[in-house]
């Protein structure tokens, strides 16, 4: 293999190892997905704590950087700015290809899989191997409700969805409840005033903000206090339908996780 190819390959691997820790508009870091799919933890405690990806892809980045310096900088005598520009071009290309692929998959999905929870107006800024997520212009997906005598007195749910599919999608909405310590609580569910599940329809290709209150609906499940107020930022939503499908949507990922498909 020629020195030029060795230089390019080392720069490519270095850029790819850095990209493994980049969170894009549509996907959590690709490195996290790869680690989780092969049975390794990406974070020390669920999706928080120490980012273990640094131990894997960080090591690859260090080794590939040594080869970049050896082949590109020393042997080919490439300028540091030239190497930097190539890295930026590669990272931009990786981001574009990943986002384009994610959108293509969503547009060709059917049913619940075509719906996303819109949690960002813009792509997150690049933040490599950090335990703090940099966000840009968040859309306020929230739940607020008050209880009295362990019953919900008033509430407001504000969530935004987009349907990437070619058909209208009808769904029911649930949320993982806020919990105090180890106290058990059922999922928060939006129901009609008569107690039946509230169905929402999202047209093909449309983005819609739903502001749901006690005027037309009721809220079941969740933590209940004698006289309390609860407030949650929504980053995950569970959608279900009459066909027995259930899907978990995360605002950091356009790729939905199918929970149940009967």
Query: What are the strands, taking DSSP E only, across 69-141?
Result: 115-117
Instruction: Give the DSSP letter of residue 112.
Output: G
Mean pLDDT value across residues 63-86:
90
The pLDDT of 13-31, averaged and rounded, is 75
pLDDT at 113 over 50: yes
pLDDT at 88: 92
- Concatenated DSSP letters of 173-232: EEEPPP-STT---PPEEEEETTSSBPPEEE-TT-EEEEEEETTTEEEESS---SEEEEEE
Residue of 220, 204, 133 whose CA lies nearest to 172:
220
Phi, psi of 2 (to 5 degrees): -70, 160
Provide the pLDDT for residue 137: 45
Residue 159 reports pLDDT greater than 80: yes
Confirm if 66 and 74 have CB atoms less than 8 A apart.
no
- What is the helix (H) or strand (E) element at residue 260, kind and residue range? strand 253-261
CA gap 52, 40 in Å, rounded: 9
Least confident of 29-33, 64-68, 74-78, 137-141: 137-141
Of 151 and 257, the one with more pLDDT: 151
pLDDT (tens digit, 9 = 90+) per residue, 230-261? 888 888 899 999 888 888 887 655 444 444 33
Dist. CA 108–CA 113, nearest whole Å: 9
Per-residue pLDDT tens over the stretch 120-135: 443 333 333 334 444 4
Give the per-residue pLDDT at 99.
77
Instruction: State the DSSP H helix or E strand holding residue 106, giving kind and residue range, or none if neither.
Output: helix 80-107
- Is the pLDDT assigned to residue 14 strictly greater than 70? yes
User: For residue 32, is pLDDT > 80?
Assistant: no
Supply the pTM of this predicted model.
0.61
Return d(Cα 15, Cα 128) in angstroms, integer: 12
For residue 255, the model assigns a pLDDT of 45
In total, the chain counts a number of residues equal to: 262
Over 70: is that where the pLDDT of 24 sits?
A: no
């Amino acid at each position: 293999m020629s020195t030029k190819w060795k230089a390019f390959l080392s720069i490519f691997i270095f850029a790819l190892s850095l990209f493994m820790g980049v969170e894009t508009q549509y996907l959590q870091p690709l490195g996290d997905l790869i680690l989780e799919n092969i049975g390794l933890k990406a974070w020390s405690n669920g999706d928080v704590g120490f980012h273990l990806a640094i131990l894997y892809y960080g090591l690859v980045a260090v080794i590939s950087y040594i080869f970049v310096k050896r082949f590109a900088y020393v042997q080919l005598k490439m300028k540091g700015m030239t190497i930097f520009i190539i890295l930026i071009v590669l990272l931009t290309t990786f981001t574009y290809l990943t986002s384009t692929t994610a959108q293509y998959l969503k547009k060709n999905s059917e049913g619940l899989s075509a719906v996303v929870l819109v949690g960002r107006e813009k792509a997150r800024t690049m933040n490599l191997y950090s335990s703090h997520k940099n966000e840009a212009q968040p859309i306020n997906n929230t739940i607020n409700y008050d209880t009295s005598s362990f019953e919900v007195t008033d509430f407001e749910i504000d969530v935004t969805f987009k349907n990437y599919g070619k058909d209208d999608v009808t769904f029911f909405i649930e949320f993982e409840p806020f919990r105090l310590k180890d106290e058990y609580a059922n999922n928060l569910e939006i129901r009609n005033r008569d107690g039946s599940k509230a169905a929402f329809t999202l047209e093909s290709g449309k983005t819609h903000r739903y502001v749901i209150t006690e005027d037309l609906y009721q809220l079941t499940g969740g933590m209940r206090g004698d006289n309390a107020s609860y407030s949650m930022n929504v980053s995950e939503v569970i959608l279900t339908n009459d066909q027995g499908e259930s899907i978990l949507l995360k605002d950091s990922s356009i790729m939905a996780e199918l929970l149940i498909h009967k």
